[in-house]
């Protein structure tokens, strides 16, 4: 029971510092919807809140850094808690699925995580190049997110998805052949996450061919 409560609490906390990309998606911190009211850093991600607080660009950037530190700490605690529930093989596969979802929602931002950089063995020079790619990525994402305010949600989402893929491709090009092999191992076999409504009956996951 204690392990279950620890896992539940940890996952609940990590939702408060969800990724910037997820926080801006409709219904996930951008203004209610089935995702509920935004809180914590997700609320600060809302452009209307930033405008109300008169947040400067350097403050928004600092928010990026703060979220990254929080995610790292919570991720470490989450894995410790989940290790009391899943066996080694299940844990490895879970991390691969989690990584694939991270690619879809965060793109190149994954490369800035300390644990990920360590797994790949990134050099100081590579980290610097990736930091530049991510800086450009964040600026372009902020521009794309303005489409939500204008009401053109579909176009904004398509643009954001394109930016995530492009940023991921750019960061991948920075890697050596050996590091690309490690990246492939971290991704594992392709998995298609089926979205289910709250309270819906669980079903078999759909896998990409």
Element (H, E) at 27: none
Question: Are 143 and 165 within 8 A, CB to CB?
Answer: no
What is the predicted pLDDT for the residue at 95?
92
Residue partners of 157: CB distance under 8 A and separation at least 6? 25
Cα separation of 76 and 96, whole Å?
Answer: 16
Residues 52 and 121 in one domain: no
Q: Which domain holds residue 146?
A: 110-187
Average the pLDDT over each of 23-32, 37-46, 75-84, 117-126 and give the range with the smallest value.
23-32
Residue 80 and residue 1 share a domain: yes
Residue at 92 is within a domain: no
Residue 195 inside a domain? The answer is no
CB-based contacts of 142: which residues, under 8 Å, 6+ apart? 60
Inter-residue long-range contacts of 126-135, CB under 8 Å, 24+ positions, other chains counted: 126/174, 126/175, 129/174, 130/171, 130/174, 133/108, 133/167, 133/170, 133/171, 133/174, 134/108, 134/109, 134/167, 134/171
Same domain, residue pair 2 and 80: yes
Cα first-last separation, the chain: 38
Q: Does some domain include residue 56?
A: yes
Query: Which 3 state secondary structure label does DSSP give 39?
Result: coil
pLDDT of residue 38: 60
Residue 21 pLDDT grade (very low, low, confident, very high; cuts 50, 70, 90): very low
Query: Do 57 and 114 reside in the same domain of the chain?
Result: no
In a domain, 202, yes or no: no
Answer yes or no: pTM beyond 0.95: no
């Amino acid at each position: 029971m204690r392990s279950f409560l620890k896992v539940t609490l940890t996952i609940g906390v990590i939702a408060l510092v969800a990724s910037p990309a997820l926080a801006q998606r409709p219904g996930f911190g951008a203004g209610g919807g089935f995702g509920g009211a935004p809180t914590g850093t997700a609320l600060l991600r809302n452009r209307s809140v930033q405008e109300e607080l008169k947040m400067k660009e350097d403050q928004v950037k600092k928010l990026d850094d703060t979220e990254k530190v929080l995610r790292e700490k919570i991720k470490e605690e989450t894995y410790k808690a989940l290790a009391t529930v899943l066996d080694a093989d299940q844990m490895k596969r879970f991390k691969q699925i989690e990584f694939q979802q991270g690619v879809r929602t965060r793109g190149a931002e994954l490369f800035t995580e300390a644990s990920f950089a360590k797994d790949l063995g990134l050099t100081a020079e590579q980290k610097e190049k990736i930091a530049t790619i991510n800086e450009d990525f964040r600026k372009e994402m902020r521009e794309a997110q303005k489409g939500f305010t204008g009401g053109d949600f579909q176009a904004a989402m398509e643009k954001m998805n394109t930016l995530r893929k492009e940023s991921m491709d750019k960061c991948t090009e920075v890697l050596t052949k050996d590091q690309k092999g490690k990246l492939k191992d971290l991704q594992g076999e392709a998995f298609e996450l089926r979205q289910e409504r709250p309270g819906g009956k669980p079903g078999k996951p759909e896998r990409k061919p």
